[in-house]
Structures are given as structure tokens and as C-alpha cells.
Amino acid sequence: MPERINFILLDASYEIAGREPVIVLWGLTESGERVVLLDRRFRPYFYGLIAKGFEDQSQRIAENVKRLSRGRSPIINVGILTRRYFGRPRKVVRVTTVIPESVREYREEVRKLEGIEDVLEADIRFAMRYLIDKNLYPFRLYEVLVEKNPSNQGFRVDSVYTIASDPVLVEEMSRAKLLPELRVLAFDIEVYSERGSPNPAKDPVIIITVKSSEGEEVFTAEEFDDKKPIREFIEYVRKYDPDIIVGYNSNHFDWPYLLQRAHYLGIRVDVTRRIGAEPTTSVYGHVSVPGRLNVDLYDYAEEIHEVKVKTLEEVAEYLGVMKKSERVLIEWWQIPEYWRDKKKRPTLIRYALDDVQATYGLAEKMLPFAIQLSTVTGVPLDQVGAMSVGFRLEWYLMRAAYEREELVPNRVERREESYKGAIVLSPLKGVHENIAVLDFSSMYPNIMIKYNVGPDTIVDDPTECGKYGGCHVAPEVGHRFRKEPPGFFKSVLEHLLNVRKTIRQQIKKFPPDSPEYRVLDERQKAVKVLANAAYGYMGWSGARWYCRRCAEAVTAWGRHLILSAIEYARKLGLKVVYGDTDSLFVEYDKAKVEKLIEYVEKELGFDIKIDKIYKRVFFTEAKKRYVGLLEDGRIDIVGFEAVRGDWSELAKEVQWQVAEIVLKTGDTGKAIEYVRKIVKQLKEGHIPIEKLVIWKTLSKSINEYEHEAPHVVAARRAIAAGLKVSSGDKIGYVIVKGTGKISQRAYPYFMVRDTSKIDVDYYVDKQIIPAALRILGYFGVTEKQLKAVSTGQRSIFDFFQRKSTK
């Protein structure tokens, strides 16, 4: 007998059973049961776009499509419909078949037919097609009519059902308590390798650590026999039965290595909820674990721009999960030494446990945002982190297109096209006090809304503007966009911004420490990420809705908006210190700033607000480079070595401390003494090597480099030591004593453990002094003074006085 159940959608996939596709929905009931819902009613389809001039031959074209039908996967329906394509009504044939893989074959044959201009939506994955068409989103609650199956049919779940009606939304999940407790498992592996990069055919997995709500477990090899820990890990996963599995760089190391090693040993990694299935690498490079959501937290760490070196320990410390000073730190090349030595082995195990604890802690920080991103975009949790922000937005746009009966364009290979970007003013060099930073709220999305910007609203012929109530004309570039009716992007962005506004109003009903507040806050962040991606998406050559002219027009309006605000600020008598993209730095005169805000909002039609106020801020002559002291005493550094990845940690630390001393005390003499103290510590060997490592990314294959830069030489030495190195890798190196070029004295940091081998003069002359002088040089401090014994340097307040008397 059919029954109604409520379930929360976690993931979707499909299988071929017999000769038909079956959609598999993985879910949770409100009582916490893990369930599978099977839908055998859905079939794959795509569209043939009928060429202009052939609309009256639609029936003949449909008949020709039917003749292409073949027995293995017949064409079961060809419908003639009207859909919009870039906003304009077009006739299409909708071609429905049985087996999803057959769509690829049919689309090529349909494309060749006379009267067919193009084939569309043939590359949308079948399970995602189902979620789009049925309007289903992960982590939302649905009611559905089902029939319970007599057996679980090879699924490791509490119940299996067959769907008898389309699921209907019950609750948007805005309240955290509606979400049953998800079982989360973190795991991490350690591999023994004497030769650098490990080889799954030779090098054993010596430690596997896991952490869940039930605690921690360590599975260790019997010396170099790793069958035991791998089997124990598989058993643990099946027993704990997690909904989400998290790791750190697990998509690119832990999972692939574990799978390859297990297969070499003849072990099946049977950890999925689909009996007989194993984890496999899927789209976007993520590892799919059927029935469980595998999340690589490294994907989210990549988006934390403040952390330049994305190691687990660095990210965990930055997010307040685990301090580096409170955990065991072992370099990868030291692992064999710690494993061989029975006295050191417990330290290695503690290190592995610290890793998995840090991973679990990061999951607690990152999963709420990741879940909301999945809910907003409609993309399952295991995929949404692995894909770029452009793809996240694109899936959202595809759902919006389906709702509006708008056809989704094909992805086309294009070369990159450049266009003039945002305005960045040259700053007023020097130190400025009491500076307000004004930010335009969602500038680019609001420009797209106000001027109806999109690939479907461009008007090439100015004489046609009268049909649309006129045209908006972008300054400088002259691109025209119709005023009416609203375009696809305008409609989508208005909806997104309204959703965010509603969420932010809802947030106010809850205390900041409540779970409801946190869920809603993470959701508004996810919506903001999508809205802000729209402008960049149109200029991305891989976008389905690519439109270089649109992106170019948006930046032109953005420049015009900033310049108009600057002009008015100067009329008010406000000193404008700097401007960058959607921000203005002006002296903080409360009354005048309020007038400026009123002008921008009422006359220009855009929202602008005070983002922060600096008690004191220092600019060099360079753009995007400044140091500010905030009202709460924090130091804000932008563009200097302190936030760049290609300087040593010591140089960054020195610059940060110098900035703090100068901006807080105004005493350059104290800053000079601090620099001298660091130089002395370095010469005496008291600075740990870890602070001297310089990180640089290999931008291309090692064999493509003609010049022997230090990081290239270090990379070659790392390869010789057995490490795998490829384009995109960050190379950490130190400079040692010796003769010849600096590049020839660059060694991978793991090869140098003795501080006496470090070239101290290089670090003083090329790292510490230059980093300090980026700030102190403006106040007349010289390299000679930083190396001298004493100073008679005046304070920066004396400097202000000196400037004002000129």
C-alpha cells in the first residue's frame, strides 16, 4: 500500500536496472532513518533547436528525428515546443529516449538533420537533470508518496522505497533543529616512503586515523604489512555508517592512494552504502562514495585568501581549530624515521591523531557553509566544493532557466578575451588619520540589475531601442541594453538579492550564538557568493552564458559610478585618499560622509555604507598596497609582503610587527630597534628554519623553465630526492651559504635542518631589511640605520608636524 513519508534529500545518482534507468535518491527521514528512494518514471531528453525559416517544417523535422530511433534505447517521444533562447521565442523538438548514455549518440545525428540549427541540453548529467526538473534541492525537506520495497535490494540503508509521486517541498530548512543529526567521519592516512613521493605498489599505509562523534580510532600497520589497518578502516566506516566523510586534500591524495594500495593488496574498499560499489573519481575531480557525501575540506581552504600556504596546520590555526604550538608537527620526509624508531613511533601516532582532530575541527567550521551552498545551488555536497564558483553559479542559472522555460546554451571552447577592468586610483602616499572606507553594496550585481545587463538584452541596432522603452548605454564602451522587459540575469539577480535580504531580516530574530542564527548566516553568505559571481561569470570564456560585452559594460558603469562619487566627495571638501573597484577611502568627517552616502543612494541609485574606519592608515605610491590601524586596535595589511606567499614567514612577521609599532606608537625608533633585534637573533641562530622557508608556485611544468629561478632549482632537487612535483605545486625552499648565484643555493626546506648552513646575509639583505623598509623607508629610515647600533629617529607624529609646516 502506498504511504506518505517526509525525507531530507542528501544526494542523487542513477543506475541502469534491466534496460531502464532508475533514479536513486539518498535521504534521511525526520526520525533519522537512512533511506533510498527509487524513481523509475524519469527519462533522458534533449532539445533540437529548429533553424529560423524552418519553423513551418517542424512536423517534418520531428518525423525525421523519430526515424533515428534504435532498439537498444529507442526514441520514445518527439515533442514540438516553444522555448526561449537568449530571451527570444524559438521552436524546438524535445527528443526523449531511454538510456542516458544514448543521448550522446542521438544528439550528433539530430544535429546533422536539415532544419536543425543546434542541439541543446544534451550534456546535462541525468541525475542533475532529474533534480532540476523536479525542483529538488539537497538538505530540504520533502513529502512523497511511496511504496516500501520488501527488501533493501543491495543498499546499506534502513529502508528502500519506490517513488509513486513527485516529491513536494515541505520546509526550506531555515531552522537548524529540523535537520537530523548527520553522522560525520574525518579520516587521514600516513604513508611510509623512503623515496619521497609514495608509490601505492610499494609503499604501505602505516597509519589510518579516524574521528567521529564516537571518538577517535587509530589503525596501524604491523611494521610494513598494511592489510590490517586498511581492513579495520573499512570495517569502521561500515559500522559507524557516516552520512558525510571529510578529509583534507583527500580527493587528490588519501582516497586515490588508499584505493590503489588496497587494490594492489587485493582488498575491496567496500565503504559505500551501495553493496558492491567502491569510491571512484567523478566530475570536478571529487571522489564519489555512493550513499555518503565525501567532502574534501581543502577545497574550502583554497578560498581563504588570507592564508597563503594551505597546509592543514596553517588553516587549522587560522580558523582557531588547533594552534601549531599545541600539536605535534612532523615533516613528511621524517615519517620513515619516526616509524622505524619504536621510541619515536608514539609521537608519529600523536601527529596523525592531531591531523584527524584538526580535520574534524575544520569540518565543524566549514560544513555549515558548504551545506548552505549545496542547498542554494542545488548541487550535492560532495560536488559543490570541488567545482569552481563559476560552475556553482551556472548550476543555479540552469535551474532558473528551467523555471522560465529558457534553453540552456551549450558550453563552447573559446579563447580568453581581455577587457578594461575596475578602476583603481593611485593612492595619496603617506600616513593619513581618521579614514573611512565606503563600500558599494553588491556593486556589480546591482549594476546588472539597474541597467538590465545580460546576453539576452544586448541591442546591436540603436534604432531598435524604441521597441524596448529605450536603451541603457554603457559609458566609454557604448554597449546598449534594452530597458524592458527584464532580462534573464536581472531576474535571477533580483531574486538572489531579495532572498539574501529576507534571510538577513530573519537572522535578527535569533541570538548570534543560536544554531538558527548560524544556519541563516551561512546561507546568506552562500547567496552573496553566487550573486557576486555573476559579473565575472559572464566574462569567463568557459561560461554557457558567456558575454564579454556584458562584462565590459559592467566594469565601465562601475568606473563611472566610482568617479561620480569621488567628484561629489571633493565638492563636499572631503579628501579622497584612495579608490579601488567598489571602495572609497575618504577622511571621516561624519556630516560630509553622510551627505556623500545620501548622494550615492538618492542621485546615483546605489547602496553604499561605511565598512570600516582606520584610526591611521599608511599608503605607498603603489596601488592595492596599504597598512591600516583599525579602531579596535587590529592591524589590516593589504598587498605587502606580510600577506604574500613568496616571502619568508620571518619577513612577513617583521613587516607586520613594524607596521603595528609604527601605527600604534608612532615611534619609528622602536621599530628600528625591533628589526635590529631580529637580525641579531638570526645571526645567532635563534630563528627556526621553518620561519625562513620561502614558498613559490610552479606556474608551469618543470621542463618548461628556461631560467633557473630559486624555486625551480629547489624543485629539481626535490625531484632528485624522489618527490613528485608538477605545475601548480608550491615549492618551499631556503637559501644556504656558499658561492655562486642565489638560485644555485636554493634547497628544498626539508633537506636543510642545520641553522648554521643558512645564508644569514641573504635573509638580512633580501628579506628582513626590504620588508621593513617598505614601511620605514617612507619616514626616511635607511638600510644603514637598520644595521647601525643606535638611532636618533623621530616619531611619525614629528613627521606629520614636518609635513604640515611645508
Residues of the chain with pLDDT > 70: what percent?
Answer: 95
- 433 backbone φψ class: left, alpha, beta (φ>0; ψ -120 to 50): beta
Beta strands in 154-201 (DSSP E): 159-163, 168-171, 184-191
Name the residue with higher pLDDT: 732 or 236: 236
**What are the cell numbers at 275?**
553493496
Stretch (H or E) spanning 638: strand 635-638
Chain segment 64-105, per-residue pLDDT in tens: 999 999 988 999 999 999 999 999 999 999 999 999 999 999
Which of 241, 170, 248, 183 lies closest to 209, judged by CA?
Answer: 248
Q: Cis (ω within 30 of 0) for the bond into 485?
A: yes
Quick one: CA torsion of 485, 488, 491, 496, rounded to 10 degrees?
-170
- Report in angstroms the alpha-carbon separations of 439 from 16, 24, 600, 606: 53, 46, 11, 11
Confidence band of 331 (pLDDT split at 50, 70, 90): confident
d(CA 585, CA 432): 10
**Residues near 549 by Cβ (< 8 Å), separated by ≥ 6?**
458, 477, 479
Q: What value does the mean pLDDT take over residues 320-345?
A: 92
Give me the mean pLDDT over the 312-333 stretch: 91
Q: Which triple of cell numbers denotes residue 219?
A: 589503525
Question: What is the rounded CA–CA span in Å between residue 489 and residue 475?
Answer: 20
Contacts of residue 112, defined as CB under 8 A and 6 or more positions apart, other chains included, come to none
CB of 30 within 8 A of CB of 175? no
Check if the beta carbon of residue 247 is closer than 8 Å to that of residue 187.
Answer: yes
* Structure confidence at residue 175 (pLDDT): 41
Residue 60: the pLDDT is: 97
Q: What is the DSSP string of 698-764?
A: --S-GGG--S--HHHHHHHHHHHTT----TT-EEEEEEBS-SS-SGGGEEEGGG---GGGB-HHHHI
Residue 69 DSSP symbol: -
Assess whether pLDDT exceeds 80 at residue 728. no
Least confident among 56-60, 622-626, 731-735: 622-626
The DSSP bridge pattern shows strands 45-50 and 88-96 to be antiparallel
Interacting residues of 229 by C-beta distance below 8 A, sequence separation 6+: 205, 206, 207, 208, 219, 220, 221
C-alpha 323/C-alpha 108 separation (Å) is: 56
Q: Are 546 and 574 in contact (CB under 8 A)?
A: no
**Can you tell me the distance from the alpha carbon of 782 to that of 784, in angstroms, rounded to the nearest whole number?**
5
Closest of 499, 556, 508, 558 to residue 531, by C-alpha: 499
Structure-block grid coordinates of residue 135 = 525542483
Beta bridge partners of 7: 29, 142
For residues 589 and 572, give the distance between their C-alpha atoms in angstroms, rounded to a whole number.
10
Q: Which residues contact 430 (CB under 8 A, 6 or more apart)?
A: 618, 619, 778, 803
pLDDT digits (tens, 9 = 90+) for 399-426: 999 999 999 999 988 888 888 877 788 8
The pTM of this model reads 0.87
- Name the 3-class secondary structure at 416: coil
Lowest mean pLDDT among 39-48, 363-372, 452-461, 776-785: 776-785
Residues 6+ apart with CB under 8 A from 514: none
CA distance 607 to 443: 8
Given a cut of 70, whether residue 336 has pLDDT beyond it is: yes
Distance between CA 110 and CA 735 in Å, rounded? 62
Residue 641 is predicted with a pLDDT of: 57
Mean pLDDT across 439-466: 94
- pLDDT tens-digit readout, 199-254: 999 999 999 999 999 999 999 999 999 999 999 999 999 999 999 999 999 999 99
| 166-175, 462-471, 526-535, 581-590: segment of lowest average pLDDT | 166-175
